Amino acid sequence: MRAAVLKENYRIVLEDVKEPSPGPGEVKIQVRVTGICGSEVHAFKGTHPYRKPPVILGHELAGDIVEVGSDVEGLKVGDRVTVEPQIGCERCYMCRRGLNNLCESKIVLGTQEWPGSFAEYIIAPAKVVYRLPDGLSYEEGVMVEPLAVGVHAVRWSEMGLGDSVLVLGAGTIGLVTIMAARQAGARRIFATDVLDFNLAKARELGATHTINVRQKDPVSVVLEETKGKGADVAFITAAASPVVEQAIKAVRKRGKALLIGFFEGPADNLEIFPLTAKEIDLRGCLMYTAEGFQNTLDMVAEGQLDSRPLITEVLDIAQAQEGLEVMDKRTRDAVKILLKF
């Protein structure tokens, strides 16, 4: 089968690799469409902690079941599906609490352990395979994964109806967070970025205030607009120390700041005292749970989350290298780039 393999940092090669076959409890999926995510860009640059070359990347996908292993119930050949790209052990303390995102021995799609969807076929255990409702395209099926990140972040923030939220960074994760916050009843949504293109998308998807941080200080805008109180919740989707500092300064006392972005290193010179002085709740946030993934799929199916405006281009799988370069170097405006077989 054809697969776009990350051979070494910054080099993806389309190769013929051995076609996998499903074991007990597993299905084989023919990938129709797959997405390029921020974590693929980290892997491409060699800065991802566990996505290391040589590897077939890709963890956002939609396709068709073409083979079913033994002991699989409820799925059949021909089903159109998407995959929750994490496998929990179901036995550890976290899995037993329904937190498979925090499983002690989690396996993630797009790694050497579980080859990803930049390939014609992937294998997945039936328990992480979700049927796409009729009427939902493969493209929309792919987008369930990134949307689930935003839905999880908003749920974990325990944001309330009528709250003011600040979303720092308006790339894909920032945008899906804006969409979810809108659905959850945020009254004001402040979005920041350095790119006007991303800010225009943010506005389209529900941000009420957009701030280009090259021109304006987001902290003063938020404080001014909230009469000095600050935002109830800040979502940090751009992983850089100054952004964390902005979140801490812009949230109200007893407000929350959630880290959704992927930090490559330590946060430099981060002042800790304001966390104490304002009793701020700084929270990590990792992917989503199985339950959250299902909920997101249901919301997409029922038209409450429309991911189509996030898809800015669809390339052929043979252009995986180009897609990753665009996401890395921003040589053209892009939110979500999909790859098609």
**In the complex, which residues of this chain contact Zn ion (CB under 5 A)?**
37, 60, 88-89, 92, 95, 103
Report in angstroms how near the CB of residue 293 gets to Zn ion at its nearest. Answer: 12
Nearer Cβ to Zn ion, position 126 or 222?
126
> Quick check: 83 and 128 in contact, CB under 8 A?
yes
Tell me the CA end-to-end span of the chain in Å, nearest whole number.
11
| CA 206 and chain centroid, separation | 18
Comparing CB distances to Zn ion, the nearer of 89 and 108 is: 89
Least Cα distance to 57 among 131, 17, 3, 106 occurs for 3
Q: Is the dihedral of CA 132, 135, 141, 147 positive or negative?
A: negative
User: The dihedral of CA 4, 46, 85, 173: what is its sign?
Assistant: negative
Q: What is the dihedral of CA 37, 111, 290, 293, to 10 degrees?
A: 20
CB of 75 to Zn ion, least distance (A): 22
| Residue 65 or 176 having the CB closest to Zn ion | 176
Q: Could you tell me the smallest distance in angstroms from the CB atom of residue 298 to Zn ion?
A: 19
* Cα–Cα distance for residue pair 141/81, rounded to 1 Å: 7
- Bin 254: left if φ > 0, else alpha if -120 < ψ < 50, else beta: left
Asked whether 337 and 174 are in contact (CB, 8 A), the reply is no
CB of 60 to Zn ion, least distance (A): 5
Nearer residue to Zn ion within complex by CB, 68 or 258: 258
Q: Are strands 231-236 and 164-168 parallel, antiparallel or unpaired?
A: parallel
Contact 208, 185 (CB under 8 A): no
Looking from the CA of 198 toward its CB, the CA atoms found within 13 Å total 28
Minimum CB separation from Zn ion for residue 295, in Å?
Answer: 17
Q: Which is nearer to Zn ion, 88 or 255 (CB)?
A: 88
CB of 274 to Zn ion, least distance (A): 31
- Least Å distance between CB 255 and Zn ion? 27
Nearer to Zn ion, 36 or 244 (CB): 36
Whichever of 160 and 309 has its CB closer to Zn ion, that residue is: 309
Q: How far is the CB of 148 from Zn ion (least distance, A)?
A: 9
User: CA of 28: how far to CAs of 35, 41, 121, 201, 340, in Å?
Assistant: 19, 26, 7, 36, 18
- Which are the contacts of 229, defined by CB distance < 8 A and separation ≥ 6? 223, 252
CB half-sphere exposure, 233, CA atoms < 13 A: 28
Q: Which is nearer to Zn ion, 41 or 222 (CB)?
A: 41
Residue 37: CB minimum distance to Zn ion, A: 3
Nearer to Zn ion among residue 109 and residue 219 (C-beta): 109
